[in-house]
Amino acid sequence: MAEKVYVVFGATGHVGGPVARRLAEARRPLRVVARSAAALAAHAGAEPVVGSVDDPELVRRALDGAGAAFVQLPPYFGPGVRAWQDRVAGVLADGLEAARVPYAVALSSLGAQLAGGTGPVAGLHTLEERLGRVPGLSVLAVRPGYFFENHLSAIGVMRSAGFYGGALAPDLRIAQIAAADVGEAAAARLLALDWRGREVQELHGERDLTPVEVARALGAAIGKPDLAYAQLSYADAQAGMVQAGLSAEIAALFVELARALDERRIAPLEPRSAATTTPTSIEAWARDVFAPAFRVP
């Protein structure tokens, strides 16, 4: 009997891309899903499915005959963010149930055990809960810490003001991680299919970091070793995001996320271990990802 296909949603993203590449390297039958046909062309040999994860028919078609799937809630910047997240969680769960897929890895986050007060992370709580109710599905929720990629949004302020400003307390030490490491960990579990029922895997990154330490590493990578971090009030941070082009609704959700981190409501539930530690340091990521992005005109 032919091996069942692996399906990767968001296969052109920071996490889904590495998942798809690792599965392809392992020569698994692969179906990749994203909104851009041109971007999906990078996954040579995989079956492309072009469209949005909020389309129930597309999700059902993508999951037809699947033996395992990587699912996620993609970034969404339209109105009604939380309602959209909850709807997409239902679309994914219904698609997995209709196709009788036995295994799924879901991209989640630290803090997803909380039903609210965590900004966009609350949508991942809904996703985990909804997938956990699918009959016959063994679902692994991968809960990483704060993505290094979030720091890319600070490039504009760094260029114009010469410092890194954010709502997080300067001495707040939290788990931070490279998205590629999350993809590698998720792919490893998909290749192993070594869980049953409902499980959680936390990922804490290479080490915990404060915003001051992050600013220092980013600055060193771009030739500004004295780059400072400045804490903004929640109101100022929200106003700055709106000024940068985000809607008031989305800016408020991001501020709610920052407050949950500052208050340690979003934090690991288990101690750091070899299983939760990943290899990429902030210094390596700053050199290989942040600095090239900073230099783009």
Do 5-146+177-203 and 150-172+206-266+279-295 show the same overall fold? no
175-194 pLDDT per residue, tens: 999 999 999 999 999 999 99
Per DSSP, which regions of the chain are E strands?
5-9, 30-34, 47-50, 66-71, 103-107, 138-144, 146-147, 164-166, 174-177, 198-203, 208-209, 229-231
Instruction: Enumerate residues 6+ apart whose C-beta is below 8 A from 21.
Output: 43, 183
The full set of domain ranges for the chain reads 5-146+177-203, 150-172+206-266+279-295
3-state DSSP assignment of residue 221 = helix
For residue 2, the model assigns a pLDDT of: 62
134-176 pLDDT per residue, tens: 999 999 999 999 999 999 999 999 999 999 999 999 999 999 9
For residue 297, the model assigns a pLDDT of: 83
Is the pLDDT assigned to residue 103 strictly greater than 50? yes
- Match domain 5-146+177-203 to its CATH number in 3.40.30.10, 3.40.50.720, 3.40.1740.10, 3.40.50.300: 3.40.50.720
Q: How many helices (H) and strands (E) would you count in the chain? A: 12, 12
Q: What's the rounded mean pLDDT across residues 19-43?
A: 97
Q: Against a cut of 0.85, is the pTM above it?
A: yes
Question: 71: how many CB neighbours lie within 10 A of its CB?
Answer: 27
The overall average pLDDT reported for the chain is 97
CA separation for the pair 156, 270 (Å, rounded): 35
193-252 pLDDT per residue, tens: 999 999 999 999 999 999 999 999 999 999 999 999 999 999 999 999 999 999 999 999
1 pLDDT band (50/70/90 cuts)?
A: very low
Helix (H) or strand (E) holding 33: strand 30-34
CA 285 to chain centre: 16
For residue 3, the model assigns a pLDDT of: 81
CATH fold group of domain 150-172+206-266+279-295: UDP-galactose 4-epimerase; domain 1 (3.90.25)
Is the pLDDT assigned to residue 125 strictly greater than 70? yes
Structure tokens at 98: 């209709």
